[in-house]
Amino acid sequence: MSYQLSDEHQRLVDTVRDFADTVVAPAAYEYDTKRSLPYDIIAQMGEMGLFGLPFPTEYGGQGKDYLSLCLAVEQLGRVDQSIGVTLEAGVGLGAMPVFRSGTEEQKLEWLPQLASGGALAGFGLTEADAGSDAAGTKTTAVLENGEWVLNGSKQFITNSGTEITRLVTITAVTGVSTRADGSVKKELSAILVPTPIDGFTVEPSYDKVGWHTSDTHPLTLHNVRVPEANLLGERGRGYANFVQTLDEGRIAFAALCTGAAQGCLEEATRYARTRNVFGHPLGSNQHIAFKLARMQARVHTARLAYYAAAELMAAGQPFKMEASIAKLVGSEAAMDNARDATQIFGGYGFLNESPVARHYRDSKILEIGEGTSEVQLMVISRALGFEA
């Protein structure tokens, strides 16, 4: 087994890294301060084909593999996590469910738009009482005269309220049944909701600790009507479909974490080489050098973890546990490296204009989004044969 990148993969890394350094990084502080999505940068990412990387050419994609998406996300996340997660969620949570579960008609309608980057899609799973616990879902979809009528609310939905959002997949209760013990079992399904549409309200964006450039909103659905044909996948298979979506998405999310950890390492290394203290570079102090060494070890481990999960996925082998390991290890690496980089920078690391300050604010959500660290530990322990 080798994790040496192919020439094609390396060219992609070099291209996206250059774009991240010359286009994304110089604008990151400005857009973070404005708390607005830079549509000009998103458009350039679309022109580069980044939103279509893992999709076949017949659907407007680039015909590349899932690792290609991960490599692009890592390089963007290295300089701006908000931009990285916009790509990761736009593809992994927005377009991928359509590709995996959609009919041919749904794929032809939606994937070319989403793969071009000219449109974004969101994945409406989380609610006030539902997320990791999908059984808590309260949003309903009732079939009436050939239409699904949706009512309910969603929370923390990425890419749901942008100027180019055109689709949100909503998980909803489409029926209930009674088990032998008298308990009620909810039938969960996924429904494609094009936006804008009557009854679909994008509520004001959250005042978040970090990821200020990323678009995140609560949603309200009041008698939203869509055609019966907008059912995504089989009725009652919504839970299985979104579990697959999250399993795959965690690999790309782990790549985002790795990029954040790498960005902190690069900034801290540069600073330790150029900042002189008592007549010597800061990095000549062993405790600083050792801190940087640990940061490098975390990045290396996180990258190998998501490479391994992506390789299993590409080979069609089970990868659920490995995806959770990658997400767990990567998010911890990002948070630890952000803390250490801020410490190395000292007072300068506490200024919002500093990239490490932005990583410090941004990285905490990496231990929460797309499955908390506790959920990842639950998945891993179950794979070992232990049920909590």
105 and 134 housed in the same domain: no
pLDDT for res 156: 96
User: Could you tell me the pLDDT band of residue 115, with boundaries at 50, 70 and 90?
Assistant: very high
Verify that 211 and 244 share a domain, yes or no.
no
The two tokens of residue 377 are: 């530990």
Catalytic residue, candidates 109, 266, 370, 374: 370
**Total domains, the chain:** 3
Cβ-based neighbours of 64, under 8 Å, separated by 6 or more: 12, 53, 54
Same domain, 201 and 284: no
Work out the average pLDDT over 183-204.
Answer: 94
- Asked whether residue 27 carries a pLDDT value surpassing 80, the answer given is yes
What is the Cα Rg of the chain in Å? Answer: 21
Question: CA quadruple 176, 179, 185, 187: dihedral positive or negative?
Answer: negative
- Decide: 211 and 85 in contact? Cβ < 8 Å: yes
pLDDT, average across residues 224-229: 98
Of the CA atoms within 13 Å of residue 232, those in its CB half-sphere come to 34
Instruction: Say if residue 323's pLDDT is above 80.
Output: yes
Residues 6+ apart with CB under 8 A from 324: 250, 371, 375, 376, 379, 380
Six-digit token string for 173: 């209760």
Residue 331 lies in a domain: yes
- Pair (28, 72) in one structural domain: yes
| Predicted local distance difference test score (pLDDT) of residue 187 | 94
Single pTM value for the model:
0.96
Q: Is residue 16 part of a domain?
A: yes
Mean pLDDT of 172-189: 86
Q: Is residue 388 part of a domain?
A: no
pLDDT score for 188: 95
Q: What is the pLDDT of residues 349-359, one digit of tens each?
A: 999 999 999 99
Catalytic (active site) residue 127: no
54 & 141 share domain: no
Same domain, 126 and 113: no
Shared-domain flag, residues 231 and 244 = no
Going by their DSSP bridges, the two strands 120-124 and 216-227 should be labelled as unpaired
Q: Give the CATH number of the domain where residue 210 resides.
A: 2.40.110.10
| Residue 2 in domain | no
- Neighbouring residues of 285: CB distance < 8 A, sequence distance ≥ 6: 277
CATH assignment of the domain containing 378 = 1.20.140.10
Proportion of the chain above pLDDT 70, given as a percent: 99
* pLDDT band at residue 388 using 50, 70 and 90 as cut-offs: low
The reported pLDDT for the residue numbered 3 is 80
Is residue 203 situated within a structural domain? yes
**Mean per-residue pLDDT for 310-332?**
97
Instruction: With cut-offs at 50, 70 and 90, classify the pLDDT of residue 341.
Output: very high
361 shares its domain with 271: yes
Q: Of 99, 120, 141, which residue constitutes the final position of a domain?
A: 120
- Choosing from 120, 143, 172, the residue where a domain stops is 120
Give Dmax (Cα) for the chain: 79
pLDDT in tens, 123-180: 999 999 887 777 789 999 999 999 999 999 999 999 999 999 999 999 999 998 877 7
The helix (H) or strand (E) run that includes residue 240 is helix 238-274
Residues 133 and 107 both lie in one domain: no
3-state secondary structure 116-173: HCCCEEEEECCECCECCCHHHCCCEEEEECCEEEEEEEEEEEECCCCCCEEEEEEEEE
The residue among 100, 120, 140 that closes a domain is: 120
User: Tens digit of pLDDT for each residue in 79-112?
Assistant: 999 999 999 999 999 999 999 999 999 999 999 9
187 exposure class (CB count in 10 Å sphere: 0-12, 13-18, 19+): middle
Q: Is 278 helix (H, G, I), strand (E, B) or coil?
A: coil
In a domain, 72, yes or no: yes
Q: Are residues 360 and 245 in the same domain?
A: yes
Does the residue 1 lie in any domain? no
Q: Give the domain range for residue 73.
A: 7-120
Instruction: Look at residue 114 and tell me whether its pLDDT is greater than 80.
Output: yes
- Asked whether residue 132 is domain-assigned, the answer is yes
CATH number, domain at 66? Answer: 1.10.540.10
Across the chain, the runs of DSSP E, i.e. the strands, are: 120-124, 140-144, 147-158, 165-178, 184-194, 200-202, 216-227, 231-232, 276-277, 280-281
Q: Do residues 208 and 303 share a domain?
A: no
Give the pLDDT of residue 329.
98
Same domain, 137 and 260: no
Task: Give me the pLDDT at residue 1, please.
Answer: 61
| Mean confidence (pLDDT) of the chain | 95
